Amino acid sequence: EAGVAQSPRYKIIEKRQSVAFWCNPISGHATLYWYQQILGQGPKLLIQFQNNGVVDDSQLPKDRFSAERLKGVDSTLKIQPAKLEDSAVYLCASRSAGGADTQYFGPGTRLTVL
Interface map 49-78 toward other proteins (x if CB under 8 A) = -x----xx----------------------
101 sits in the region (left: phi over 0; alpha: psi -120 to 50; else beta) called: left
Bridge partners (DSSP) of residue 109 are 90
The least CB distance from residue 18 to other proteins, in Å, is 25
The least CB distance from residue 93 to other proteins, in Å, is 8
In single-letter form, the type of residue at position 14 comes to E
Read off the DSSP letter of residue 60.
Answer: S
First to last CA, the chain: 37
3-state helix, strand, coil in the chain (%, to 5): 5, 50, 45
The least CB distance from residue 106 to other proteins, in Å, is 6
By CB under 8 A, residue 98 contacts other proteins: no
- Of 44, 68, 80, 83, the residue at the interface with other proteins (CB under 8 A) is 44
3-state secondary structure of 106: coil
- Of 1, 14, 27, 41, the residue at the interface with other proteins (CB under 8 A) is 41
Q: Give the footprint of other proteins on this chain (CB under 8 A).
A: 4, 31, 40-45, 48, 50, 55-56, 91, 93, 95, 100-108
